[in-house]
Amino acid sequence: MQQQDRAPSARMAWFAAALATAACAAWCATRTGELGPARTTELVRVAFLSAWLPCLWLLSSAGWGRLACRALSVRRSDPVEHAAMIIGLGVSVHLILDAWCAWLGVLAWQRPIGASLPLVAGLAGLVGAPRRVAIVPPRMTWLVALALPVGVLMTAASTAPGWLWQTEFGGYDALTYHLLLPREWIDCGRMATLDHNVYSALPSFMEAAFMQVLAFAPDAKLAGTWAQWLHAMFALAAALNCAGAARSVARSAGASEPAIAASGWLAAIVLLSTPWIIATGSLAYTELPVVMVMAMVVMLVVDRADSGRSASIVADRATSTRSTVIALAVVCAAAIGAKGNAAGALVVPAMVLVVLAQRRHPRELALAGAIGVVVGAIALMPWWLRNWIDAGQPFFPFVAALGPGDWWTVEQQRMFAAAHAAPAGWDLSALWNEWLRYGIGAAPDASEPWRPQWLLLPWLGLVGVVANLRPRSGRVPWGGIVLAVLVVVNVAFWIGFTHQKSRFLVPIAAPLSIAAGVMLGSLATRNSALGADSTGA
């Protein structure tokens, strides 16, 4: 009781967090140089101009999320989990709609009228929404710890594209196609697979969202910071979903209410404090939608299997299974649309986990799975059907069995596949250098960037995964199994099917942060309880 009396009021806690965010952003602004908002007044101006449209995009996504949750009859009694579900589903739906609108030429129609249509429609979904969300603030120190990386993220997203983050060569990929392609699509009137840029054949759903905000842009610099701020919004959405997933995992393990609340806050802090999240999140990149969906998969699968403690309110078991699978199909399609690697790193383990969770009800799962496949295929049509029409091959330039398409020769396709294939064998030294000790100690290759972009997350997260696998009441918690499967599959996919570069492991930050948050939340509340007992004694 004494501890509760010492807790700050909600207004004071949120005010302290806002002050810490502003102070951190102002301090970072003094170190951005000529290409960034070096003065506080300039930071305020640039941040306001750069943030309003991406914030509007996120609000519109919340509207789409409310509509999606209502359509799927999905609701959470936990306010944080429900908010995460709305934002996660809404962002996924918005990405898919943007891809469809970009492909059909809506976003480029009568700029910016066409680009306004998905925004306005999503905002209409907020009509009747509650004005307040009952989220109790945590300890003041935790809020400040969460606010500091948000301040860094804001400042980095407000700088001109092309010079920040040496580990990403100044955001080279953003300049060469993440930002370039949307501008070319606006000029040609629709999202298209272009014969002079092979990366236009990727799913490009995130680039479609960039196309939407670029349709409003009066100049190139503002277009760049709008795109960066939009991706930064995904970082915040990913943190919210990690918080919701951590609460779900902690609840499924039978944790106390204080431990559940602490798990959510600490998972969000761990995620946003990871340098890779800030670096990629402040660039016009595509990683953060996959991180967000990774956390959503944890939340959906853990809740689905944990029917005894479920926080979802659904009509019956069959409807619940169908709703869960359709929601998974939507968010996984959005993740693949943002980054094609998600097909192996995310969708495959998600399918395995759903089958394990529903193994006692195969008929219901088969029907729901068939519906989910159809939903996912339709959601991804702006990718595979676009490629089929434009390039003559739905998965161009991949899947050699389908041929090289209309533009390339077999040799060109073979060379592209070889350039993007994983090194031969299963050498684990890359995992050690690019993940477990990345940026720490001597660099294995002096020509490559070497910064501690992971800090302690790999080790902290792995310890958290092991801790979550500890049997409780004679059983291994399902939440721990889900986290372990996602981590193992992501590592195996990274070794076997990617360049084995550190950034391609960024999606694994979600299950690691969730595992670390649950473990740290349990320790924090246990120490608080011991302290209270000793004080009382």
Cα 294 to Cα 239: distance, rounded to the nearest angstrom? 11
Q: Where are the alpha helices (DSSP H) in 218-274?
A: 220-252, 257-272
The amino acid at 296 = M
The amino acid at 489 = V
The SS3 assignment for 321 reads helix
The amino acid at 35 = L
pTM: 0.93
The SS3 assignment for 150 reads helix
Query: Which of 144, 129, 2, 155 is closest to 60 using CA atoms?
Result: 129
∠ Cα 273 341 390 (to 5°): 130
Cα 148 to Cα 365: distance, rounded to the nearest angstrom? 44
DSSP 8-state code for residue 435:
I
β-bridge partners, 475: 472
Q: Which residue has the tokens 């060379």?
A: 415
Q: Where are the alpha helices (DSSP H) in 273-316?
A: 275-281, 287-305
The amino acid at 12 = M
Q: What's the alpha-carbon Rg for the chain, to the nearest Å?
A: 23
Cα 192 to Cα 106: distance, rounded to the nearest angstrom? 13
* Per-residue confidence in pLDDT tens, the chain, 537 aa: 344 444 456 777 778 888 888 888 888 877 766 656 666 777 788 888 999 999 999 999 999 999 999 999 888 889 999 999 999 999 999 999 999 999 999 999 999 999 999 999 999 999 988 877 667 777 888 888 999 999 999 999 998 888 888 888 888 899 889 999 999 999 999 999 999 999 999 999 999 999 999 999 988 889 999 999 999 999 999 999 999 999 999 999 999 999 999 999 999 999 999 999 999 999 999 999 999 999 999 999 997 655 544 444 444 666 788 899 999 999 999 999 999 999 999 999 999 999 998 888 888 889 999 999 999 999 999 999 999 999 999 999 999 889 999 999 999 999 998 888 877 777 789 999 999 999 999 999 888 889 999 999 999 999 999 999 999 888 999 999 999 999 999 999 999 998 899 999 999 999 999 999 999 999 998 866 555 555 554
Number of neighbours of residue 224 by Cβ within 10 angstroms: 25
Handedness of CA 505, 511, 517, 523 (dihedral sign): negative
User: Taking a C-beta distance cutoff of 8 angstroms, is the pair 507, 294 a contact?
Assistant: yes
Question: String of b and e for 374-398 (b: at least 16 CB within 10 Å)?
Answer: ebbeebbbbbeebbbebbbbbbbbb
Cα 4 to Cα 253: distance, rounded to the nearest angstrom? 25
